[in-house]
């Protein structure tokens, strides 16, 4: 896995040593000898990970990290702080500044590269969601507010055979308002995690790592649990198992005896990152929904229904109902556009209420609506169209306190498997305008002459039960 790594250290020998190690692993490397130079290089080069020395003259590593995490354009870049300081307070200070990990000098190669692989996997996922969200924003869809920095109400699952240690860890997390559940066995944990209710897992490594690491691997292999952060709890002598855990998908770790403040900082970071990813996913889902939805009626829009019809005609054939509100211009001219909007919304609601769940209805443009009935023949379409016509005509629409008699003309055409969407819609359109010419408030079926010349009507669809 190649990536761009920025190494920041005020000591030239340290820079050179890390640069050589990274180049030998085929990473692209840039170096910076001070905090200001690091900030400038990040903006210009946009690395995938920053390896940041803590103790530097002028602007130290903590300040550099804070500034990177405070900028929307660089907050997503993982920062690994490197220092000779061994005091747990310093690790907590770095984590609170936004660092994603904290390594001690001299840096162990195996640990460094294991952490880089884990962070790069995480960043690839977040980058994919960020790019999709940015595309949606470029199309004009504004994102909802970001997640709260508070982790109160988050849910953690502790998987630990030692009930006393699990209780102690739960008390530490409880100080941040995190709700904690506990189970002793990885098999029990797997069943609990299927419920999708937990924001982080604290997984105690067994003596040989066996069941614990199998659970970590299994979590990453299944879509329902792939994004749940896993934090390993390990003994000082379990370095090899921790590194193996990183390769299997673990996100972070703490070493016994567990420092309470470090644990809280690491768990907070993992929960916030998960919520950020969920926000990006929800942002994308919302944007996609808006992209295929008509904002006035809440129905699908023209773009969506045409794609849907194309897919249905490839597999099962469909009946198409093209509907037009009669004399709609007169409504707008006489009662105003606000009343016209009320009419369109009410028509949409009545049409939607008289269709199967499998049928798709869309606002096709202006006062036109289009229904796609998968697997339906002309006879099915005619029955439903008459039901829709009556639903509109028989009950006045009340707009701005005025009851308005609204009617609708409908053209029906059925295309079999292999028919072209444009041909079916064209035939329904011809039938619709025949209904308009014959007095409106009518349902008309497409005739053979309504189809475009040489159009293939496709293999007839099987008659569906209505």
Catalytic one among 167, 367, 379, 386? Answer: 367
* Euclidean distance between CA atoms 230 and 234, whole angstroms: 13
**How far, in Å, are 11, 160, 161, 188 from residue 184 at the CA level?**
47, 5, 4, 7
List of residues 6+ apart from 333 with CB closer than 8 A? none
**Full strand arrangement of the beta sheet holding 101-104:** 28-32, 4-8, 49-53, 79-83, 101-104
Q: Is 122 helix (H, G, I), strand (E, B) or coil?
A: helix
* Euclidean distance between CA atoms 419 and 451, whole angstroms: 11
User: Do residues 359 and 371 touch, judged by C-beta distance below 8 A?
Assistant: yes
User: Do residues 230 and 249 touch, judged by C-beta distance below 8 A?
Assistant: yes
DSSP 183-231: ES-HHHHHHHHTT---SEEEEE--SS-HHHHHHHHHHHHSTTTTTS-EE
* Euclidean distance between CA atoms 30 and 19, whole angstroms: 8
Residue given tokens 């009343």 in the structure block: 339
Whether 367 is a known active-site residue: answer yes
* Strand bridging mode 318-325 / 368-374: antiparallel
Strand partners, 5: 29, 49
Q: Work out the angle at residue 186's Cα, subtended by the Cα atoms of residues 182 and 191, and round it to the nearest 5 degrees.
A: 80
* Strand bridging mode 179-183 / 155-159: parallel
**Full strand arrangement of the beta sheet holding 318-325:** 360-365, 368-374, 318-325, 408-415, 443-445
Structure tokens at 419: 């028919």
Residue given tokens 């949606």 in the structure block: 136
**Full strand arrangement of the beta sheet holding 252-255:** 179-183, 155-159, 200-204, 230-234, 252-255
Q: Which residues are catalytic?
A: 367
């Amino acid at each position: 896995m190649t990536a761009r790594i920025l190494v920041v250290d005020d000591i030239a020998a340290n820079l050179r040593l890390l640069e050589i190690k990274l180049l030998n692993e085929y990473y692209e490397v840039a170096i910076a000898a001070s905090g200001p130079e690091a900030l400038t290089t990040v903006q210009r080069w946009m690395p995938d990970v920053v390896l940041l020395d803590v103790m530097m003259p002028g602007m130290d590593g903590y300040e550099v990290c804070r500034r990177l995490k405070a900028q929307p354009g660089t907050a997503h870049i993982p920062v690994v702080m490197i220092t000779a300081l061994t005091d747990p307070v310093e690790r907590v200070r770095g984590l609170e500044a936004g660092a994603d990990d904290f390594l001690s000098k001299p840096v162990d190669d195996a640990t460094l590269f294991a952490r880089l692989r884990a962070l790069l996997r995480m960043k690839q996922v977040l980058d994919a969601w960020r790019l999709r969200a940015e595309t949606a924003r470029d199309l004009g869809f504004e994102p909802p507010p970001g997640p709260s920095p508070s982790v109160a109400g988050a849910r953690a699952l502790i998987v630990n055979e030692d009930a006393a240690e699990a209780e102690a860890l739960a008390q530490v997390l409880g100080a941040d308002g995190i709700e904690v559940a506990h189970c002793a066995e990885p098999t029990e944990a797997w069943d609990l995690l299927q419920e999708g209710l937990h924001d982080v897992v604290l997984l105690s490594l067994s003596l040989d790592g066996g069941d614990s690491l199998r659970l970590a691997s299994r979590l990453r292999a299944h879509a329902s649990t792939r994004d749940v952060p896993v934090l390993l709890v390990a003994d000082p002598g379990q370095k090899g198992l921790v590194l193996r855990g990183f390769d299997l998908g673990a996100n972070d770790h703490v070493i016994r005896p567990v420092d309470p403040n470090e644990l809280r900082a690491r768990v907070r970071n993992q929960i916030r990152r998960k919520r950020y990813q969920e926000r990006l996913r929800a942002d994308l889902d919302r944007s996609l929904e808006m992209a295929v939805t008509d904002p006035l009626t809440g129905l699908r829009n023209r773009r969506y229904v045409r794609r849907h019809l194309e897919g249905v005609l490839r597999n099962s054939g469909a009946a198409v109902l093209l509907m037009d509100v009669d004399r709609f211009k007169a409504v707008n001219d006489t009662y105003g556009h606000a009343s016209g909007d009320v009419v369109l919304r009410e028509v949409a609601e009545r049409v939607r209420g008289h269709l199967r769940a499998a049928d798709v209805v869309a606002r096709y443009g202006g006062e036109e609506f289009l229904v796609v009935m998968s697997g339906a023949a002309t006879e099915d379409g005619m029955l439903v169209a008459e039901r829709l016509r009556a639903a509109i005509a028989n009950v006045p629409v009340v707009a701005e306190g005025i009851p308005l008699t609204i009617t609708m003309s409908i053209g029906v055409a059925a295309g079999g498997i292999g028919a072209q969407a444009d041909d079916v819609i064209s035939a329904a359109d011809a039938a619709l305008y025949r209904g308009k010419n014959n007095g409106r408030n009518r349902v008309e079926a497409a005739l053979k002459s309504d189809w475009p010349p040489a159009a293939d009507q496709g293999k007839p669809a099987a008659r569906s039960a209505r």
